[in-house]
Structure 1
Amino acid sequence: MQKDQLLTRLLTRRRALLSGAAAVGAAGTAGLFVLGGDAEPVRRTATPAAGSQARRPLKPSTYRLQPLTGYGPPQATPRRTLVRRTPLLRVSGRGRTMVLTFDDGPDPRYTPAILDTLAEYEVRAMFFVCGEMAAARPDLLARMAEEGHVVGNHTWSHPLLTRLTRGQIRSQMERTCDIVEEAYGERPQWFRAPYGAWNRNAFQLGAELGMEPLAWTVDTLDWTTPGTRTIVGRVENGAAPGVVVLSHDAGGDRSQSVHALRDYLPQLLDAGYHVTVPRRQYA
């Protein structure tokens, strides 16, 4: 036998062996997919030996709509709130930025009018609410959420925290967090001690509940009902970048606060101030 003929036969035999192995492998693989849940064979139409393999269209399924968990984005590290020793008095921001805050509400006699003025000038503010007041008017908290205002925790019943035990302070804060979350849609990220009376327990518990302590820079003293013009003058004279203004929308007759806002807000905007809400800073 000539050398060329021998080489041709060997190559032909090798191709036959490889084709047979491929056929056995294909049959074994097909067997893995035709077994039903009860491990009994399921008859299927044989696929052609030659040509491209016919594929059945995939049916929609919940599984196919879900991303593989192994390839999802890494979980973010939980953000930690610092335990401060003093409350924040000012806010950082670009340019002439100011923050307006209102305490003790919501009160149906005054809060809606304040919200109306803020909406008229497309300004957002902060409302430090008392839990017992919020529980009575959850609709006002829902409106604050819809209009982009920030709701903070001002305790449940406005007590002097320095006279309470740690457990009592926690109860005052937690109950208010719960009612704010229910009515506003999320838990508060800021808190303010009634009367500005802070202590170590207040700072620690506030941080444990994920809240930053915010005080104020300018106190309008509107709770003393000094007159609308006096309130307006205090805001205008104290206006400066980063200033936090304290006013009230409950806790007494707040009609002067309502009228004063209508006077000083457009003047602040005309003076180039950007009245907005602060952003949280996490550790």
Structure 2
Amino acid sequence: MRHPVATLAVPLTGAALAHALPAVTARNTPRRLTPHLAGEGRPGGVALTFDDGPDPLGTPAVLETLAGLGWRATFFMLGSQVRQHPAIARQVVDAGHEVAVHGTVHRNHLTRTPLAVRRDIRLAVEQITGTTGVRPRWFRPPYGIFSGGTHWAARDLGLVPVLWTAWGKDWRAGPPVQIVAEVMHTLRDGGTVLLHDSDCTSRPGSWRSTVAALPLLAARVRAQGLEVRPLADHLAAPC
């Protein structure tokens, strides 16, 4: 998975600036000012999220491993993948996990018009809802890059944007121990982990490294006394 740097090398003016500015600022905004956008939730645990699925090989393997660990997670799905693998998308819900929106296609929103972004997200919502019977609440743009159109579309469609505080960079298909080290480098109590259950935008077979990393991650998280939960529980208001 190639994550482009949100750096603009050409001058931006007017509408172009309004469209691109969120991509420049989203990663640099202090988390204390936008904790939910960053994925910071209730203390005592961390949220586990997966992007780019459903996948006919990676998703079932991830689900099986999560079942063995007793974990529930949030799956940010691509509408194009749901259309190709509807039974796998339903399997995620049937296993007790949460579905969320990653768009229809995995394309940087800075390269698309606001109307195109809205259409992409709307189609993904319709595809996921129609296939799984569950309307998703959360949204994460491809590469974690927001444009002005991204914010407008998510708000207009009633979706809540959520990024992450720690990622395993597992799209590179590195050794499982390296994936866990990447996660733990920035993971703190109340954070959100990003991994991938599909290799549709990653190195082929990278999901195998992700699956192998999950038990290693479990040992590290449990050693800190943290629970693992989906975003619905993680970002819920305290009682």
Match of 2:227 in 1: 274
**In structure 1, distance between residues paired with 2:140 and 2:164:** 9
**In structure 2, distance between residues paired with 1:142 and 1:270:** 33
SS at match of 1:104: strand
Equivalent AA in structure 2 for residue 189 of structure 1: R
**Would the aligned equivalents of 1:101 and 1:127 in 2 still touch at CA under 8 Å?**
yes
Equivalent AA in structure 2 for residue 276 of structure 1: R
**In structure 2, distance between residues paired with 1:222 and 1:192:** 17
Equivalent AA in structure 2 for residue 220 of structure 1: G
Identical positions, percent: 30
Equivalent AA in structure 2 for residue 115 of structure 1: L
**In structure 1, distance between residues paired with 2:181 and 2:217:** 8
User: 1:210: how far off?
Assistant: 1.0
SS at match of 2:38: coil
User: 1:263: how far off?
Assistant: 2.0
Max radius of gyration: which structure? 1
Are 1:92 and 2:41 an aligned pair? yes
**In structure 2, distance between residues paired with 1:101 and 1:171:** 24
CA RMSD of aligned residues (A): 2.0
Match of 2:132 in 1: 184
Residue in structure 2 matching 1:147, options 78, 95, 101: 95
Residue in structure 2 matching 1:167, options 105, 112, 115: 115
Equivalent AA in structure 2 for residue 256 of structure 1: S
Q: How big is each residue's C-alpha offset from its partner over 1:58-116, in whole Å with a ceiling of 9 and x where there is no partner?
A: xxxxxxxxxxxxxxxxxxxxxxxxxx984711332142x10111111111111101001
Structure 1's unaligned 5+ residue stretches are: 1-83
Q: How big is each residue's C-alpha offset from its partner over 1:215-249, in whole Å with a ceiling of 9 and x where there is no partner?
A: 11112111122221100222234332111111111
TM-score by length of 1: 0.65
User: 1:149: how far off?
Assistant: 1.3
**In structure 2, distance between residues paired with 1:187 and 1:90:** 20
- The within-5 A match list for 1:123-272 is 123-250=71-198, 251=200, 252=202, 253=205, 254-272=207-225
**Would the aligned equivalents of 2:166 and 2:184 in 1 still touch at CA under 8 Å?**
no
**Would the aligned equivalents of 2:176 and 2:210 in 1 still touch at CA under 8 Å?**
yes
Match of 1:112 in 2: 60
Higher relative contact order (CA 8 A, sep 6+): 2
**Would the aligned equivalents of 2:99 and 2:134 in 1 still touch at CA under 8 Å?**
no
Structure 2's unaligned 5+ residue stretches are: 1-21, 27-33
Match of 2:6 in 1: none
- The within-5 A match list for 1:18-33 is none
User: 1:148: how far off?
Assistant: 2.1
**Would the aligned equivalents of 1:221 and 1:247 in 2 still touch at CA under 8 Å?**
yes
**In structure 2, distance between residues paired with 1:154 and 1:169:** 11
TM-score by length of 2: 0.77
User: 1:198: how far off?
Assistant: 0.3
Aligned length: 198
Q: How big is each residue's C-alpha offset from its partner over 1:101-154, in whole Å with a ceiling of 9 and x where there is no partner?
A: 111111111110100111112211111111110111111221221222111111
User: 1:264: how far off?
Assistant: 1.3
**Would the aligned equivalents of 1:269 and 1:275 in 2 still touch at CA under 8 Å?**
no
SS at match of 2:48: strand
Equivalent AA in structure 2 for residue 221 of structure 1: K
User: 1:266: how far off?
Assistant: 4.0
Match of 1:34 in 2: none
**Would the aligned equivalents of 1:161 and 1:194 in 2 still touch at CA under 8 Å?**
yes
